[in-house]
Structure 1
């Protein structure tokens, strides 16, 4: 069910990932997949465009078809009971996080575990708050939140934890015990959690996604921000959802002036509903492909870059590679210049951290093989 785009198709469809690199460069950087749209999503979009659905979305904040569709998806995939009327559309996950901080969080600093999704680095400042970094030790085996440091940060005045789970860029899936530890620290200090769960549908075999809001006692201090866009390759359609665990929080978010919540796209809503309601079979095939790509990457690194270090890739299609052993502070720049392959620079996710890259494996086996070969050629030539 997963159809690989040809190079020509990829350049036409993925105008950022493929369209902004030179013809001899193989792109493996931005988080887009080199796969054709899921047929249920493509068919729903084509029908909507044929009907002329290109105006404003219905500004209904009572859940509507999107809330119902997401609630069904969450129940099937995560065993999580979501109230449809507590699902609020927004333009994308970054905007949803910003909305949640603006409306719900106190004025204190936002704690951001590092490495972090690059746009999150600027979010606290955009929201008028300080950013307090909580870096993960680069040599740690797991990308877990240091609870003792988190406790001290909240004791010192932090008001919010921006949690990304599953984690981008490392692919870590927080266990229930890890999340419960975070919950207990935050609740003890009366803080708030904004949980970015955009990669939740992309948990690979061997791990399980636990929605933060599914934890007992989390609804009072947290929201989740979700979307179909990462799992179904529809980021350009601009529709995410902020999910609340209680009616009071949902009412606060829905009650803000319209200008505070960026308008989402009606075509994005069409795509999301189709993905949530009819995309299960395609998503299962995608996870099977990504699981195979994960295994292939491990084998390729052992063959071509044996000194590379990669933590277990438990979710997403984004591998976080520690390449410090090869002696380059910015291996992404070296790989682009010498190997003609573009990967994402690690310092974009963890300022000041040398020797790391993020590599996108959501492509064909043949392309992934060539990506690693070029990366090795660039770093070892």
Structure 2
């Protein structure tokens, strides 16, 4: 395969040297899945821009923790002391970054956010009640409820002022019809929204009106840009704290999804007690190396995270400055996921299929994110800037053909 050629200029950051060939050789799903592509001008190799993971090498503190696991044979069942240390590191990081330090005793390990979600549905929502999901949404949130015998109610997010917003009236109607749990993803995947305090307060009013619950997916919390700042939903009011189960992980911000360690944060005494009685199975699959690596990320990975955020700012600027005729582009305020609205192109086929065939860029099709996402695609920006420049060049060429 040929090395990607770009007009982005000489490498100025260590991440710039990460070629597509290097990523394919690494064997990740994001890069090994797409396969071959032969473009109209002879370019080779699909660019993987669909899976929500970063291409950047992990923080040295995380790598050291994983090496220490191997060297110390730390692959046994997870001891309570390591869980407590991870919980303390997580709480301290959240306090420093977001101004809300949860009680470490209420921070519990899970393998991932989806495990936290299924446990929350089963143990913290009314038996048999429907799940309310604003869409477009993270794809598994559309399919997992049916796997655990729950109805899903999609509440499409209106497009207002060039961005998606929550449809509070639709959420209210869903609760009035008997739904019991709202999935609130903030920062939002796939649209990149970071919801304001005012929006979160409006959510609380609706939830409280119906005695419902909230599953707060805050896995992208550390990944915000510009003037956007993440506000933990459970920290916005006593009412929100009383009806929320929060899930997060270091996996997005520190690029460790394969280490299988997330956190559930319980924000009231009753929920903490209920989790203590019901959460064993959800916790049991958490990986010991993941807990130790997560502890290192929260405690020692701040400088690496800040470097990544600065690099992603540059990638956001590159996207914002690229002319993609016919597309409405949402540059994310949070996450590293951009939304490209292709409805104006009149393609007659899913836009992801068009761009994979004509541009060799593999993105998540919006229809997989719910009916409200149909006609759009999700583009992962967390790649080397020269590779992103090549991807955007290809998209632009396909649009102009």
Determine if contact 1:172/1:312 at 8 Å carries over to the other structure. no
The answer to whether residue 26 in structure 2 is matched with residue 13 in structure 1 is yes
Alignment partner of 2:385 out of 359, 365, 372: 365
Q: Determine the C-alpha separation between the residues in 2 that align with 1:81 and 1:155.
A: 34
Q: Taking structure 1 as reference, are residues 262 and 337 closer, same or farther at Cα in structure 2, changes over 3 Å only?
A: farther
Q: Taking structure 1 as reference, are residues 349 and 80 closer, same or farther at Cα in structure 2, changes over 3 Å only?
A: same
Q: CA deviation at 1:7?
A: 3.1
Q: CA deviation at 1:48?
A: 1.6
Determine if contact 2:19/2:384 at 8 Å carries over to the other structure. no
Match of 1:145 in 2: 166
Determine if contact 2:136/2:372 at 8 Å carries over to the other structure. no
Match of 1:195 in 2: 216
Map Cα deviations across residues 44-69 of structure 1 (whole Å, 9 max, x no partner): 111221111222222x3995011100
Structure 1: gaps of 5 or more residues: none
Determine if contact 1:198/1:225 at 8 Å carries over to the other structure. yes
Match of 2:288 in 1: 266
Determine if contact 1:88/1:254 at 8 Å carries over to the other structure. no
Give TM-score scaled by structure 2 length: 0.90
Determine if contact 2:328/2:342 at 8 Å carries over to the other structure. yes
The answer to whether residue 185 in structure 2 is matched with residue 173 in structure 1 is no
Match of 1:241 in 2: 263
Determine if contact 1:71/1:81 at 8 Å carries over to the other structure. yes
Q: Determine the C-alpha separation between the residues in 2 that align with 1:289 and 1:320.
A: 19
Q: CA deviation at 1:259?
A: 3.2
Q: How many residues align?
A: 377
The answer to whether residue 47 in structure 2 is matched with residue 34 in structure 1 is no
Of 248-257 and 339-348, more deviation after overlay is shown by: 248-257
Q: CA deviation at 1:151?
A: 1.5
Q: Report the 3-state secondary structure (helix = DSSP H, G, I; strand = E; otherwise coil) of the residue aligned with 1:359.
A: strand
Match of 1:377 in 2: 397
Give TM-score scaled by structure 1 length: 0.94
Map Cα deviations across residues 229-280 of structure 1 (whole Å, 9 max, x no partner): 0011100000001101112211211222633545100111011101100111
Q: Taking structure 1 as reference, are residues 61 and 245 closer, same or farther at Cα in structure 2, changes over 3 Å only?
A: farther
Q: CA deviation at 1:306?
A: 2.7
Alignment partner of 1:206 out of 227, 249, 256: 227
Match of 2:359 in 1: 339
Determine if contact 1:86/1:250 at 8 Å carries over to the other structure. yes
Structure 2: gaps of 5 or more residues: 1-12, 37-44
Match of 1:74 in 2: 94
